[in-house]
Structure 1
Amino acid sequence: MPATKRTRHLLNSTFRVALLSVGCFFVLLPVIWMALTSLKSADEVFKTPPVWLFSPQWGNYAEVMRLVPFQRFILNTATIVGLTVLGTLLSCSFAAYGFARLRAPGKKFWFTLLMATLMLPSTVTLVPTYIMFNKLGWLNTFAPLVVPAFFGSAFFIFLFRQFYLSIPREVEEAARIDGASYLRIWWSMFVPLSFPVIATVTVFTFVGAYNDFFGPVIYLTDESKQTIAVALSYFSGSPRIGPQMHLMMAATTIAALPSIVVFLLAQRYFVRGIVLSGVNK
């Protein structure tokens, strides 16, 4: 009987692994196709039926670097993404601490109003925001893409607040007895304890800022200040380069690597932060 159970368990495990492997293959198929297309020649990309066995054209990646100032785009993107992540973490965690721990008249009303802004599409505020940045003289600078992050985001404030509610009040009360101020408690106690939610917000913010195409196109006019997301469009039909599918796939492969690496590094904390941020009211 035990042997029969072990055999049944082995068959069930094998079936689940096989099923998950097939599902994983279909999920990763677009990524595999992208990587393979990036190594094809221009003629092999559009052949029917598709070419699966070919001589890899590793020079496509060097050609991408030659046709566009990709190093400059990477530096611009890193600057924008780094400042956006920093501003989002500081502003959202600080505001969330106030909503979670401090007492103030009308706090629930203001938090409800903050959550209501999630229903407001960003396109509704696009024109007045553009006019405001134009009046400030911020067009063709990184400021419109970076400065708003230092004023918080409703969704991320919600995540931080939910996580802070799970921290025992005894920890905060002990710090208050020792004479710590609210600012010191937030910075020295709550921020170090909230690493899972910090990882979650970092991943969301990184992917959002890294893949942002609309913002750089609207606010940046100089090519030397553009980002990677805009650079990818150069290979889909710009007058200077023309449609180059194999080169666009090579550029897309390069552009996708940072997001994949960031998610893999923060995956464990990312999932934990999502779970812990939703268990409190």
Structure 2
Amino acid sequence: MTLAVLFAGPFAWLVLAALKTKTEWVTIPTKILPETPQWENFTRALTEINFTAYLGNSLFLSFLYAILVTLSSAAVGFGFARLRGRGKRPLFVLVLSTMMLPQILTLIPTYVLFARAGLVNTYWPWVLWGLAASPFLVFLFRQFFAAIPAELEEAAIIDGCGYGRIFLRIFLPLSRPVLWTSFLLSFTWIWGDYIAPALLLDPDHTTLSVAIAGFYRDPHGNPHATVQAAAAALYVVPVLVIFLFAQRYFIRGVVSSGLKG
């Protein structure tokens, strides 16, 4: 219950802030509830920010990256879990160690590489990031695949299946909970990301998070934080909807990924 309040509290505050007037917003001490809910703030957020266009950019990038990184991470995790080879464990540790590198540390080198390749102001960086897999998701898939009985793999090999078919026909369908978990996590990573799209995309092709962050004054130079709060509240809705539909798979995937070390 306490965790629910901690997570729901900021969103409730955001919605209440979106329903206030500018005067109520700057009044100290602030009032929790608005005297007259300003529902027009949501209408203004949809029209003045070009909400639908930036929403489309965010959805496209998030779905694109989530699908690619889920499939690539599943393939890499399968390799670490079931394929035999010398040096596999040190290589797995090396992959996991990259999680300790903060994004800000690789920001400038990443930008320089993409700029020299002519990929700035395109969506190719997210394609490449997706194909490169995610160390954390590789860990989830590796843990899940390692817990699958070896008899399934041995029976498939006896029937003449190669590891490619074993992965696609047996292991991938069995990993549906982890697939959903991976998809949800990676979707929210890109959906909530600000630094990468702000750095790599021009204002016309950027995502909704960047557009909302830059929308703190109207064309006349007047601050309108309440409209910005309304846009931010609307921005959270797609993630909530996706999570509500897939939460049972998400929980099952997290639990099943810890079955075997």
TM-score, structure 2 as length reference: 0.92
Residue 83 of structure 1 corresponds to 64
> Which of these residues, 233, 240, 246, is aligned with residue 213 of structure 2?
233
Residue 5 of structure 1 corresponds to none
Shift in Å at residue 170 of structure 1?
0.9
Residue 188 of structure 1 corresponds to 169
Residue 199 of structure 2 corresponds to 218
Segment of structure 1 superposing worse, 123-132 or 177-186 = 123-132
Q: Indicate the SS of the match to 1:212.
A: coil
Residue 232 of structure 2 corresponds to 252
Deviation track 1:51-93 (CA, whole Å, cap 9, x = no partner) reads: 6252222221111122121111011111100110011111100
The answer to whether the aligner puts 1:30 opposite 2:6 as a matched pair is no
Shift in Å at residue 28 of structure 1?
2.4
In structure 1, what is the Cα distance between the partners aligned to 2:219 and 2:109? 32
Residue 111 of structure 1 corresponds to 92
In structure 2, what is the Cα distance between the partners aligned to 1:87 and 1:193? 19
Deviation track 1:195-244 (CA, whole Å, cap 9, x = no partner) reads: 111121112111111000000111012x2201011011123358776531
Residue 103 of structure 2 corresponds to 122
Report the residue type matching 1:40 in the other structure: K
Change (3 A) 1:34 1:173: same
Residue 10 of structure 1 corresponds to none
> Which of these residues, 16, 20, 24, is aligned with residue 40 of structure 1?
20
In structure 2, list runs of 5 or more residues that go unmatched: none
Report the residue type matching 2:245 in the other structure: L
The answer to whether the aligner puts 1:167 opposite 2:135 as a matched pair is no
Give the total of aligned pairs: 260
Which of the pair has more CA radius of gyration? 1
CA RMSD across the alignment: 1.9
Change (3 A) 1:126 1:267: same
Residue 12 of structure 1 corresponds to none
Shift in Å at residue 245 of structure 1?
1.5
In structure 2, what is the Cα distance between the partners aligned to 1:267 and 1:273? 10
Q: Indicate the SS of the match to 2:204.
A: helix
Change (3 A) 1:111 1:40: same
In structure 1, what is the Cα distance between the partners aligned to 2:233 and 2:215? 13
The answer to whether the aligner puts 1:208 opposite 2:184 as a matched pair is no
TM-score, structure 1 as length reference: 0.86
The answer to whether the aligner puts 1:101 opposite 2:101 as a matched pair is no
Change (3 A) 1:166 1:43: same
In structure 2, what is the Cα distance between the partners aligned to 1:94 and 1:49? 52
In structure 1, list runs of 5 or more residues that go unmatched: 1-19
Residue 143 of structure 1 corresponds to 124
Change (3 A) 1:179 1:61: same
Give % identity: 36
Residue 113 of structure 2 corresponds to 132
